[in-house]
C-alpha cells in the first residue's frame, strides 16, 4: 500500500514544473491532481528561456541537484532552471513555490552541494518573499525512502505547506523500512 497521508485531489489545479525531480515525486504529485510539466535543466540558457516561455502554466517548481557528475556544474544548472522559472512564471504570477532537492550525503561533492543549497534557499527566500514565493531545500539522507520524499514534497506544495520557506529540511534516517 505505501505511505499516503494526503487526501486525493489535494494538488488539483497546480501546474508543477519538474526539473529533474525523482520519478516517485512526480508520480505522487500527479496522483494528487497536479499537472506536471517537464523542463530539461541541461539545455542552454536560450533554450531554457524558450521552454519556460512555452509552459502552459507554473505555480511551483521542483528541481533536483546532482543531475551532473560535476557538483559545481549541477548547481549551476539547478540555479539557471530555478531562476528561469521564477523570473519567467512565478514572479509575474505573484506567487509560487520552489522546492530544491539535494543529493544524499554519500554522493560525490554532496557536502558542498548541500551547503550551497542551504545558502541559496535562505537568500532566495528573503529575496523572493516579496513576490509571494516560498523556497525550501529538501536534503535526503542516504537511507531516505523515495515515498517519504514524495509525500513531503506533496505536503510542501499543498496549502498546508504554504507557510514553510527559507529553510532546509534534513531527512536523515527517514525510512519506511525502520
Domain-embedded: residue 88:
yes
21 in Cβ contact with 66 (< 8 Å): no
43 in Cβ contact with 1 (< 8 Å): no
In terms of residue numbers, what domain contains 98? 20-105+126-138+158-178
CATH code, 165 = 3.40.50.720
171 in Cβ contact with 139 (< 8 Å): yes
Question: With left for phi above 0 and alpha for psi between -120 and 50, is residue 16 left, alpha or beta?
Answer: beta
pLDDT, tens only, 116-167: 999 999 999 999 999 999 999 999 998 888 899 999 999 999 999 999 999 9
Domain-embedded: residue 62:
yes
How many domains, in total, are found in the chain?
A: 1
Task: Give the predicted TM-score (pTM) of the model.
Answer: 0.91
- In eight-state DSSP terms, residue 106 is T
Domain-embedded: residue 85:
yes
Domain-embedded: residue 153:
no
Other C-beta atoms closer than 10 Å to the C-beta of 42 total 15
Domain-embedded: residue 2:
no
C-alpha cell at 13: 489545479
Domain-embedded: residue 3:
no
pLDDT, tens only, 118-128: 999 999 999 99
Domain-embedded: residue 175:
yes
Q: CA dist 19 to 51, 89, 126, Å?
A: 11, 14, 22
Amino acid at each position: 500500500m505505501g505511505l499516503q497521508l494526503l487526501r486525493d485531489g489535494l494538488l488539483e489545479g497546480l501546474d508543477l514544473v519538474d526539473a529533474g525531480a525523482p520519478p516517485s515525486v512526480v508520480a505522487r504529485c500527479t496522483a494528487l491532481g497536479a499537472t506536471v510539466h517537464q523542463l530539461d535543466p541541461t539545455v542552454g540558457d536560450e533554450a531554457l528561456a524558450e521552454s519556460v516561455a512555452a509552459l502552459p502554466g507554473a505555480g511551483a517548481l521542483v528541481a533536483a541537484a546532482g543531475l551532473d557528475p560535476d557538483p559545481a556544474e549541477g548547481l549551476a544548472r539547478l540555479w539557471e532552471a530555478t531562476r528561469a522559472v521564477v523570473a519567467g512564471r512565478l514572479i509575474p504570477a505573484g506567487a509560487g513555490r520552489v522546492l530544491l532537492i539535494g543529493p544524499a550525503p554519500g554522493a560525490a561533492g554532496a557536502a558542498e552541494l548541500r551547503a550551497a543549497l542551504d545558502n541559496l534557499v535562505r537568500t532566495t527566500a528573503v529575496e523572493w518573499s516579496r513576490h509571494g514565493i516560498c523556497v525550501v531545500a529538501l536534503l535526503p539522507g542516504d537511507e531516505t525512502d523515495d515515498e517519504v520524499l514524495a509525500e513531503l514534497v506533496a505536503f510542501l506544495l499543498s496549502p498546508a505547506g504554504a507557510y514553510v520557506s527559507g529553510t532546509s529540511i534534513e531527512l536523515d534516517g527517514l525510512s519506511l523500512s525502520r
